[in-house]
Amino acid sequence: MADSALPTMKQYNQVLAPYMKPTWPAAIRQLITTLVPLFVLWTLMFLSLRVSYALTLLLLIPAAGFLVRVFILFHDCGHNSFTPSVRANKLIGFLLGVLVLTPGEQWWKAHAIHHATSGNLDKRGVGDVETLTKAEYEQKSWLGKLGYQLFRFPLVMFGLGPIWMFIISHRLALPRFSRKETMSVVWTNLALVVWLGLLSLLGGGVLNMLMVILPTVWLGGLLGIWMFYVQHQYEGVYWAHEGEWNYVNSAVQGASFYRLPKVLDWITGSIGFHHIHHLSPRIPNYNLAKAHNEQPLLRQGIKVIGLAESFTTVRLTLIDEQHANRMISFGEL
């Protein structure tokens, strides 16, 4: 759909407004149906260490799925869209952030910048997946090109990416942010010492804790990075320079509708309806599908990506500014 054919933000807000109301019953229900199964699975994983680590790794799969769902609730808290209370969102978000090894205030700030700049060629670099233009890549030295190629290599991005992001990067304060964000890193790290120490005491030692928590975080992190990646890196995704960049277009044409099977949609908190989330981050995850299904306007001009098609997006690595900012692969250079 051409840019001029998209509705205005005012028109979108008229249909989005009824869905921007978080409720306590829905939030409590999600906390129970997410945290109880996760803690049960973690308990079973610790117990399974006495039997077979193969059984532990089998239990890892659903545990990682529930950890992804924890991250979605944590994410909603940062948008103040999970519960009606700002204070409760901050407290719940902090505690959920400990479970997903992510400092709330720092991550929420970076993510807010992502929402305000998604698809803006002149404001890349915070809260997004590093994506170079063809010209930027060609201007790099051979070592710089190799580094970018390695970063975009799927086994590195999705295999090593979770370790870098959740184990290492989230332990460090970003110098560009304020004291509030820095202290969120400090408090999260201290809380992690207590939480992981308690798990070590109850679970039979530090090694047992690492054998349960690290694989869960790795697989959950892999799935989370994949979800973020595929919703902003695809054929026809929106890119524009600052003077031409438009918030509505960045949301509708720069964030996909990732159509998933129902079980995966539930695990990922319906974040696949990403175009709606970008149009209004104030909509709770539990209202996204409802908004999409009830409002035809929200189904116009969007990019729909199916599960099978999504795996083809990993070949797209660069932005070709000379050809309508389309995404290309290294093989097309």
* Domain carrying residue 138: 3-328
The Cα–Cα gap between 11 and 270 comes to 23
In a domain, 65, yes or no: yes
The Cα–Cα gap between 275 and 249 comes to 10
In a domain, 333, yes or no: no
Strands 304-306 and 326-328: unpaired
- Span 186-214, average pLDDT: 98
Kindly calculate the radius of gyration of the chain based on its CA atoms and give it in whole angstroms. 20
Residue 17 confidence (pLDDT) above 60? yes
The conformational region for residue 68 under phi > 0 = left, psi -120 to 50 = alpha, else beta, is alpha
State how many domains the chain has: 1
- Structure confidence at residue 176 as a pLDDT band (50, 70, 90): confident
The Cα–Cα gap between 73 and 50 comes to 32
pLDDT of residue 1: 37
pLDDT of residue 66: 98
71-107 exposure pattern, b = at least 16 Cβ within 10 A, e = fewer: bbbbbbbbbbbbbeeeebbbebbbbbbbbbbbbbbbb
39-62 exposure pattern, b = at least 16 Cβ within 10 A, e = fewer: eebbeebbebbeeeeeebeebbeb
In a domain, 276, yes or no: yes
For residue 222, which of 105, 82, 60 has the smallest C-alpha distance?
60
Residue 2 confidence (pLDDT) above 80? no
**Mean of per-residue pLDDT scores for the chain:** 96
Take residue 36 and report the two structure tokens written for it: 């109880």
pLDDT of residue 5: 79
pLDDT of residue 148: 98
Q: What is the pLDDT of residues 92-121, one digit of tens each?
A: 999 999 999 999 999 999 999 999 999 999
- Structure confidence at residue 280 as a pLDDT band (50, 70, 90): very high
In a domain, 49, yes or no: yes
Q: What is the pLDDT of residues 206-230, one digit of tens each?
A: 999 999 999 999 999 999 999 999 9
- Span 21-46, average pLDDT: 98
For residue 314, which of 254, 193, 225 has the smallest C-alpha distance?
225
Q: What is the pLDDT of residues 59-105, one digit of tens each?
A: 999 999 999 999 999 999 999 999 999 999 999 999 999 999 999 99
Residue 300 confidence (pLDDT) above 60? yes
pLDDT of residue 201: 97
pTM, 2 dp: 0.96
In a domain, 133, yes or no: yes
In a domain, 263, yes or no: yes
- Span 14-21, average pLDDT: 97
